[in-house]
Structure 1
Amino acid sequence: MPRFLYSSPRRWGDLDAQGHVNNAVYLDHLQDARVAFLHAGAPGLADMLRTGVLVVSHQVEYLAPVGYGPTPLVVQTWIDALGASRFTVGYEIFDGETLAARARTTLVPFDLEVGRVRRLNDVERAAFQAYLDPAEPLRPLPKVGVGEGAARYPLTVRWSDLDAFGHVNNVKFYDYVQEARVAIMTATLDWSAGVVWSLVRQDLDHLAPLDFRCEPYEVATSVVALGTRSFTLAAEIRDPASGTVYARARTVAVGPRPLDEAERRALGRFALPDATGVPAA
């Protein structure tokens, strides 16, 4: 089956403190490729961006760091799964010949006028069928809650975070989870001597639209597991007053050396009671 190819320009402002394209920015490249695919890669699908389409979940597997350069990244896009009222877009991001990331996004068509999910119509289904090419699935990450001992990070939504539908854009959720994660890592890990902790996987499930407001939301984050040189976090984006959960995420980070005992104990302060690999208090 054919794949839709999208050349995604790199931006200097996309680089993080380590000089690489930030992990959350990968979602911008995926979104731009997906929108271009709906506009040009499959005739009859562009109306979906006007009538409504919701992102249900993302899976991103980071395989190689990406730096700045004059040549664009190439995003190969296809339909990985097709159901009655949902579809999954598959991606591979290439930096030259290097496969930098693999990802999946599950979406549902949504009728904005009546406010509910709808089924794919015949035109949409035929267009997607032409690009249907199921690939090897990404290894699932267990879905767990954050627990009572989670670290809580205040989240302020910016007006510029909203998309064309008037809600926080799906890409911004990765920024929110990142801000909370960096706060925990700064408080618990030794960043000296050039130690860089890299993400290898990050999944996120969207549960409800997130709207702009002046009062802060929060990101609650817990440690799910500690390995020799890795750790897994669970996060929830939620309303601290009502308890409404808008998204849940799982993140796996790996370091260039084993976690030392001080770091393990510090991360353990935010661990779930049944977290694996966490030292006894």
Structure 2
Amino acid sequence: MVPVVHRYVCPMRWGDMDAQAHVNNAAFVDYLQEARVDYLLSGPPTMHQLLDTGVLVVQHQIEYLRPVRFHDRGLAIDLWVDSVGGSRFQIGYEVRDGDEVAIRARTTGAPYDLAGGGLRRLTTAERTIFAAGREDSHQPLPDLPKQAWSAGGHDYPLQIRWSDLDSYGHANNVKYYDYIQEARVALMAQALRWLERDSPSADDVWVVVRQDLDYRRPLDFRVAPYRVNTVVTAIGNRSIRLAASIDDPATGAVYAQARTILVGQQPLTDDQRAALSRLAPR
């Protein structure tokens, strides 16, 4: 039987670091996936088969508590089952760098029928195994408020790479965080005029402290670009809240929606606040 709390030690890669010499926020989603797969593979054959028959990530919630620098000791990821229902289950995580918790996260998953091409309910055996791994002593992560908008913000053309695809033939759930990040950097570069400076300054240091992402439908590889539309939903003294949507610019079909909180090292100037305000939702 799968233990109530499952521990996986995840190695870091040098290429996981960002321009600030910390592990990039999107890389942690990859670490969570490695821990989740290890959890499923360490259980009974029923859980192995869940990976073979298909399982989709429906939502990620990630709270970034402290930056992590590269080292060769690996990060200890404690994983447990938060809840299990008829057709969904939620996994909780704490990512530890030494004795410190660096990341708290939740993943909601749903079984998928690859042969039939649709979501399905959990079997009795699957529910029983997930229920045996349930651990309810950890504090839940409240949802970030969802945002609705029809216009405004910043548009970024998203090109899916062939290497982004997973074993199911769709863009891997991890890659969505990369897509949202690329669009966010483009927005920030435009609004804060990063590209007009020869070298980075303290004004360029912004860190993600929270990011939730809801997966609406799989992204397939194609030549035509998708679109990431990002809007600024709130502006603080040293913080910015963003909402983003990955969609098809031709049909309007929405593939994912994200909410992000950024915190900066320096207070925003009046000019920066004005530029960000022009990217508000309408």
Query: Which among 254, 265, 276 is matched to residue 274 of structure 2?
Result: 265
Who is 1:193 aligned against? 201
Is the Cα contact below 8 Å between 1:146 and 1:236 reproduced in 2?
no
Who is 1:122 aligned against? 124
Who is 2:218 aligned against? 209
Who is 2:153 aligned against? 150
**Pair 1:126–1:33, CA change in 2 (3 A):** same
Root-mean-square deviation over aligned CA pairs: 1.3
**Pair 1:94–1:200, CA change in 2 (3 A):** same
Alpha-carbon deviation of 1:70?
A: 1.1
SS of corresponding position for 2:25: coil
Is the Cα contact below 8 Å between 2:202 and 2:266 reproduced in 1?
no
SS of corresponding position for 2:78: strand
| Greater mean alpha carbon deviation, residues 53-62 or residues 134-143 | 134-143
Residue type at the aligned position of 1:12:
W
Is the Cα contact below 8 Å between 1:55 and 1:106 reproduced in 2?
yes
SS of corresponding position for 2:104: strand
Who is 1:36 aligned against? 38
Gaps spanning 5+ residues in structure 2: where?
A: 195-199
Who is 1:181 aligned against? 184
Alpha-carbon deviation of 1:147?
A: 3.3
Who is 2:239 aligned against? 230
CA offsets 1:254-277 (integer angstroms, 9 cap, x no match):
01222111110111111125xxxx
Give the TM-score of the pair, scaled to structure 2: 0.93
Query: Which among 119, 135, 138 is matched to residue 141 of structure 2?
Result: 138
Identity of aligned residues (%): 53
SS of corresponding position for 1:80: strand
Distance 1:147 1:260 in 2: 28
Alpha-carbon deviation of 1:146?
A: 4.1
**Pair 1:51–1:137, CA change in 2 (3 A):** same
SS of corresponding position for 1:47: helix
Alpha-carbon deviation of 1:41?
A: 4.2
Moved segments of 4+, more than 4 Å: none
Who is 2:90 aligned against? 88
Give the TM-score of the pair, scaled to structure 1: 0.94
CA offsets 1:86-113 (integer angstroms, 9 cap, x no match):
1001000000111000000101111112
Who is 2:56 aligned against? 54
CA offsets 1:132-184 (integer angstroms, 9 cap, x no match):
01231112211113431121000000000000000010000000000000011
Distance 1:115 1:145 in 2: 29
Who is 2:197 aligned against? none
Who is 1:218 aligned against? 227
Alpha-carbon deviation of 1:131?
A: 1.1
How many equivalent pairs are there?
A: 273
**Pair 1:133–1:43, CA change in 2 (3 A):** farther
Gaps spanning 5+ residues in structure 1: where?
A: 274-281
Alpha-carbon deviation of 1:124?
A: 1.2
| Greater mean alpha carbon deviation, residues 143-152 or residues 249-258 | 143-152
Alpha-carbon deviation of 1:53?
A: 0.6
Q: How does 1:56-75 map to 2 (within 5 A)?
A: 56-75=58-77
Distance 2:150 2:231 in 1: 7
Alpha-carbon deviation of 1:2?
A: 2.5
SS of corresponding position for 1:67: coil
